[in-house]
Amino acid sequence: MKDFAALFTTIDQTTKTTAKTAALADFFTSASDDDKLWTIALFSGRRPKRAVTTTQLREWAAEVGGIPLWLLEESYPIVGDLAETIALILPPPRRESDLPLTHWITELKALTALDVDARKHRILDAWDQLDATERFLFNKLITGGFRIGVSQKLMTRALAKATRQEEASLAHRLMGGWTPDTTTYHALIEAEDAAADDSRPYPFYLAYQLEDDPDALGAPDHWQAEWKWDGIRGQVILRNGTHHVWSRGEELMTDRFPEFARLRDFLPDGIVLDGEIVAWDGTQPFPFNTLQARIGRKTVPKKLLAEAPVILLAYDLLEQDGEDLRDLPLRDRRARLDTVLGSVPEDAPIRPAPPLAFDTWDALADIRASARDARAEGLMLKRLDSPYLSGRKKGDWWKWKLDPLTVDAVMIYAQQGHGRRANLFTDFTFAVWNGNDLVPFTKAYSGLTDEEFRKITAWVRKNTQQRFGPVRQVTPHHVFEIAFEGIHASPRHKSGIALRFPRMSRWRHDKPLQEANTLDDLKELLETYG
Amino acid sequence: MSDQVLSFTDRGIYCAAGDFYIDPWRPVDRALITHGHADHARSGHKRYLCTEACAPVMRHRLGDISVETVKFGETRKIGDALVSFHPAGHLPGSAQIRVEVAGEVWVASGDYKVVPDGISEPFEPVKCHSFITECTFGLPVFKWDDQAHVAHDLNAWWAANAGEGKATILGAYSLGKAQRLLSMVDPDIGPILTHGAVENTNAVLRAQGYHLPDTVHVTPDLNPKDHPGALIIAPPSALGSNWSRRFGASSTAFASGWMRLRGVRRRRAADRGFVISDHADWPGLMTAIKETGAENIYATHGYTDIFARWLKTQGYNAQVVPTEFGGEDDEAEEAA
């Protein structure tokens, strides 16, 4: 564990990507195969099955730390991370050990077979032989969410450096449903036929937001435009008589969308489709919250299946006859996609995402302005000559979203952030006027600069009226412009509405409190856009 | 309220028997000052009273003020109150203020830490009935490593940077923290350069007889190339500014109790964070409170609600000092 802790410390102490990559590459050169495999797993969002609950961890840590549980609970939001809170309150270890990362993961897996007392004994015993950093990492293995400033992309680059392999082909090997229990380092990284897994998706190609005018992109006839749908980006894979559905977050969602099983009846084997999964009302997508009802469920009740059926709006073909098409230009992939989908019946849970016809950028701007009518968030622009790249790359794909909707709202509650933003007030509740009352209608966490967060934090500290645990009620004074992508009715909220992607777009120093928007204004927006 | 020895008003801590304030934050006639940090020693009061050791820094920072001084431990009678100042260990010259009226003793601790740092007059426990304590780090997650250990890490970091031909830039508050760091680092590793704000304070403290290693003031005509492998000590706000860019390739760090938290460390986006605080950690607060023998504890500056609740479970009569009084400004955070 000491080498893994040293790796973590090096990564944590630098903000430079090159230094992080170098440290990881060193680790991938020197560590054992088991430790390498687990490191790859952890940095690609895989973790050992949780053997103890966080409630148990809190209770045991408070007991060992000699403090009441409530005091640990109060400290947690200030530290911003449970694994760290626990590591910080424990007394120093009484022993020292240097067992490898894989040992501790094996130890955690073994806990599942033990009763609670034995689990507790093992956890306390582990804490008593790990130093502060090792404890933090050990706790992280249990609590999950192993986010420590290393993206999967950065990890893949380091691995490519250490193994002298192509980054793109490694990225592809790391996709899919493997865990360290189902594979070995050799099979995953080194073996010849590593692509044999039928379920393995391709790394998604992601677009950047277009900040400037599309004029800068050159001649319009080099570009394809599509609606930018507000659904879930997904890949549907048909290979060897099986089908798999992957989300962009690399989550296997096959069981959540049973509709897609039927695709095997219409489509040839050996293909991979890229597109947007949306709930479909027969002619256009339902608003996102309809789809949201489906996402949370691992199995879908029949009623919901009938009320909110999903389809794939397909816009790319990545594999055909088992062959990787990603290096072909988009125009060719698109032509093949249209051929593949040509014979699919009307009621099939798939349809091509239609390219939009336009001659000039001005004409396209007009089309973009009507995106909300099409239940789209804006447009996607894709260069017709472009191959299908992996990850977020500038140049060939752009999203050209609609300007968000906005309201001016009053900040009424503030709460401290987590992690990097612990100890700063970053989580706010906003209200609009209803007569003389302020009605809370949304929370927002992002959009301000670090400098603005520091300013508002100082202000919140001086203007707290009341505290409810970590939440502070503040004097209504500051008005913020809240930007959002959509609005819909929600009986669960006091205001009766809910927003999609709310964030603070501007601190309206210029706006007096009384001039913030009203609940009636929101209802009007709901009427128009809901 | 007013028949208490000390009461909490919208101007600060007030003693009715002696008609004076302690660390007031609005202009008053007579102010007793615990130490020179800006959130305790404010300008605009008519008369100031502080320790001899504290006065030079206050004059340096507040300009032409009317200051009377006392020695540590010397008793002064003001109205019906007996007043004395006792070392708080927070920074050179910092004091707790003991106020006795008709046999009842209160202590306003200002900011303090109980562990000796090699430069400040060490903290002295003062027996009292009521103790006003800060609790900047009043949570069980705040525990400091001993200074020798941190000094070792600090020097190792500096030496490694010097070996790689990089400058070492350390962000630390110019009064107190900077001088404490100067007393911790090993001057044999390389030259020590200081930002003007730090150097001016150094000059004041050196003139008083506090021992500090040799430092070079960074002036506009200083050529960093003449000082390879240097350690540069500057206020936190100078890091990442044009001022610090002149040193070329560098490794940066902050020194503060907040560096105990990974989230804060990462937000400050420095290469390193050294956990070095002028304030008491959790065990330090507990020790200090216990040693006063006080029954009544008033918590201010920090996690007051949580801290007071904990003290109650420990059998103290603990209260939170009203929030309007406890200013938690940015500067206080940087100084911590």
DSSP output for A490-509: -TTSTTSEEEES-EEEEE-T
E-state strands within A282-383: 310-320, 323-324, 350-352, 376-383
Q: B229 in contact with A at a CB cutoff of 8 Å?
A: no
Q: pTM of this prediction?
A: 0.78
Q: Which of B149, B261, B268, B320 to probe the A interface (max A CBs under 10 A)?
A: B261
**Pair of tokens at residue B242:** 């044009």
Report the pLDDT value the prediction gives residue A197, as an integer from 0 to 100.
72
Give the other-Cβ count within 10 Å of B240's Cβ.
Answer: 15
Residue A282 gets the label, from left (phi > 0), alpha (psi -120 to 50) or beta, of: left
- Quote the radius of gyration of chain A (alpha carbons, Å): 26
Are residues B281 and B307 in contact, defined by beta-carbon separation less than 8 angstroms? Answer: no
**Which has the closest alpha carbon to B87: B60, B136, B59, B52?**
B52
The DSSP output letter for A261 is G
Chain B residue numbers with beta carbons less than 8 Å from the beta carbon of A75 are: 139-141, 306
Cα–Cα dist A372/B264, whole Å: 41
- pLDDT over 70 for what percent of chain A? 98
Report the pLDDT value the prediction gives residue B331, as an integer from 0 to 100.
45
Report the pLDDT value the prediction gives residue B134, as an integer from 0 to 100.
92
Residue with tokens 């004091």: B95
- List the single residue in B258, B263, B271 with the smallest CB-CB distance to A14: B271
| In a shared domain, residues A338 and A359 | yes
Chain A residue numbers with beta carbons less than 8 Å from the beta carbon of B303 are: 74, 78
Give the other-Cβ count within 10 Å of A493's Cβ.
Answer: 14
Report the pLDDT value the prediction gives residue B325, as an integer from 0 to 100.
42
pLDDT over 90 at A144, yes or no: no
* Contact criterion met (CB < 8 Å) for B261 and A80: yes
Last residue of a domain, one of A401, A426, A459: A401
Q: Which domain holds residue A267?
A: 205-401
Cα–Cα dist A374/A229, whole Å: 9
* Contact criterion met (CB < 8 Å) for A89 and B141: yes
Domain of A357, CATH number, reads: 3.30.470.30
Q: Which of B267, B272, B275, B323 to probe the A interface (max A CBs under 10 A)?
A: B267
- Quote the radius of gyration of chain B (alpha carbons, Å): 20
CB within 8 Å of chain A, chain B residues 100-129: none
User: Min CA distance, B253 vs chain A (Å)?
Assistant: 10
In a domain, A523, yes or no: yes
| In a shared domain, residues A487 and A417 | yes
* Contact criterion met (CB < 8 Å) for A458 and B269: no
CB burial class (10 A; 0-12, 13-18, 19+) of residue B191? middle
Are residues A320 and A341 in contact, defined by beta-carbon separation less than 8 angstroms? Answer: no
Chain A residue numbers with beta carbons less than 8 Å from the beta carbon of B266 are: 12, 149, 419-420
Give the other-Cβ count within 10 Å of B116's Cβ.
Answer: 12
User: Min CA distance, B330 vs chain A (Å)?
Assistant: 7
Chain B residue numbers with beta carbons less than 8 Å from the beta carbon of A458 are: 328-330
* Contact criterion met (CB < 8 Å) for B264 and A88: no
SS (H, E, C) A17-55: HHHHHHHHHHHHHHCCHHHHHHHHHHCCCCCCCCCCCHH
| In a shared domain, residues A373 and A426 | no
| In a shared domain, residues A123 and A251 | no
- Cα A109 to Cα A100, A114, A123, A180, A508: the distances in Å are 15, 10, 12, 12, 52
In a domain, A189, yes or no: no
pLDDT tens for each residue of A62-121 = 999 999 999 999 999 888 889 999 999 999 999 999 999 999 999 999 998 899 999 999
Distance of CA A411 to the CA centre of its chain: 27
Query: How many CA atoms are closer than 13 Å to the CA of A330, on its beta-carbon side?
Result: 20
Q: Which of A63, A75, A463 to probe the B interface (max B CBs under 10 A)?
A: A75
In a domain, A148, yes or no: no
Q: Chain B residue with minimal CA distance to A458?
A: B329
Q: Tabulate helix, strand, coil % of chain B (nearest 5).
A: 30, 25, 45
Contacts of A416 by beta carbon, 8 Å cutoff, 6+ apart: A77, A78, A80, A422, A423, A424, A425, A426, A427, A470
Last residue of a domain, one of A361, A381, A401: A401
Q: Which of A418-432, A508-522, B24-38, B143-157 has the lowest mean pLDDT?
A: A418-432
CB burial class (10 A; 0-12, 13-18, 19+) of residue A209? exposed
| In a shared domain, residues A121 and A214 | no
Q: B286 in contact with A at a CB cutoff of 8 Å?
A: no
- Count of CB contacts below 8 A, A vs B? 76
- Cα A419 to Cα A302, A518, B261: the distances in Å are 41, 34, 9
- How many structural domains comprise chain A? 3
Residue with tokens 């403090």: A67
**Pair of tokens at residue B252:** 């940066």
Residue with tokens 């752009």: A398
Q: What is the DSSP string of A478-494?
A: -EEEEEESEEEE-TTST
* Contact criterion met (CB < 8 Å) for A422 and B271: no
| In a shared domain, residues A321 and A238 | yes
Contacts of A481 by beta carbon, 8 Å cutoff, 6+ apart: A406, A407, A408, A409, A504, A505, A506, A507, A508
**Pair of tokens at residue A186:** 């050799």
Report the pLDDT value the prediction gives residue A500, as an integer from 0 to 100.
86
Q: A22 in contact with B at a CB cutoff of 8 Å?
A: no
Q: Chain B residue with minimal CA distance to A149?
A: B266
Contacts of B10 by beta carbon, 8 Å cutoff, 6+ apart: B26, B324, B325
Contacts of A470 by beta carbon, 8 Å cutoff, 6+ apart: A77, A415, A416
| In a shared domain, residues A358 and A316 | yes
* Contact criterion met (CB < 8 Å) for B263 and A12: no
Chain B residue numbers with beta carbons less than 8 Å from the beta carbon of A85 are: 141
Give the other-Cβ count within 10 Å of A190's Cβ.
Answer: 13
User: Min CA distance, B220 vs chain A (Å)?
Assistant: 28
Report the pLDDT value the prediction gives residue A420, as an integer from 0 to 100.
66
| In a shared domain, residues A455 and A385 | no
- List the single residue in A67, A68, A422 with the smallest CB-CB distance to B264: A422
Chain B residue numbers with beta carbons less than 8 Å from the beta carbon of A419 are: 262-263, 266
- List the single residue in A12, A75, A464 with the smallest CB-CB distance to B139: A75
Report the pLDDT value the prediction gives residue A163, as an integer from 0 to 100.
92
In a domain, A239, yes or no: yes
In a domain, A476, yes or no: yes
* Contact criterion met (CB < 8 Å) for A458 and B330: yes
- Cα B63 to Cα A93, A341, B42: the distances in Å are 51, 82, 11
E-state strands within A264-341: 271-279, 310-320, 323-324
Cα–Cα dist A182/A201, whole Å: 17
Are residues A132 and A163 in contact, defined by beta-carbon separation less than 8 angstroms? Answer: no
Q: Tabulate helix, strand, coil % of chain A (nearest 5).
A: 40, 25, 35
Cα–Cα dist B289/B312, whole Å: 13
Q: What is the mean pLDDT of chain A?
A: 89
- pLDDT-based confidence at residue A173 (cuts at 50, 70, 90): confident
Domain of A19, CATH number, reads: 1.10.3260.10
Q: A80 in contact with B at a CB cutoff of 8 Å?
A: yes
| In a shared domain, residues A103 and A243 | no
* Contact criterion met (CB < 8 Å) for B262 and A81: yes
Are residues B95 and B35 in contact, defined by beta-carbon separation less than 8 angstroms? Answer: yes
* Contact criterion met (CB < 8 Å) for B305 and A467: yes
Last residue of a domain, one of A359, A379, A401: A401
In a domain, A162, yes or no: no
CA triple A447-A452-A455, angle to 5 deg: 145
Cα–Cα dist B186/B152, whole Å: 9
Average pLDDT on A215-242 reads: 92
SS (H, E, C) B19-47: CEEECCCCCCCEEECCCCCCCCCCCCCCE
Are residues A529 and A486 in contact, defined by beta-carbon separation less than 8 angstroms? Answer: yes
CB within 8 Å of chain B, chain A residues 81-120: 81, 84-85, 88-89
Chain A residue numbers with beta carbons less than 8 Å from the beta carbon of B269 are: 15
**Which has the closest alpha carbon to B199: B219, B183, B225, B228?**
B219
- List the single residue in B258, B267, B271 with the smallest CB-CB distance to A421: B267
* No. of helices (H) and no. of strands (E), chain A: 19, 21
Q: Which residues of chain B have pLDDT under 70?
A: 1-3, 322-336
User: Min CA distance, A316 vs chain B (Å)?
Assistant: 40
In a domain, A43, yes or no: yes
In a domain, A508, yes or no: yes
| In a shared domain, residues A412 and A370 | no
* Amino acid sitting at position B43: S
User: Min CA distance, B94 vs chain A (Å)?
Assistant: 26
Show the domains of chain B with their CATH numbers: 7-141+279-330 (3.60.15.10), 147-274 (3.40.50.10710)
| In a shared domain, residues A375 and A339 | yes
* Contact criterion met (CB < 8 Å) for A81 and B267: no
| In a shared domain, residues A426 and A487 | yes
Cα–Cα dist A306/A280, whole Å: 11
Domain of A511, CATH number, reads: 2.40.50.140
Strands B81-87 and A437-444: unpaired
**Pair of tokens at residue B188:** 């044999």
Are residues A311 and A276 in contact, defined by beta-carbon separation less than 8 angstroms? Answer: no
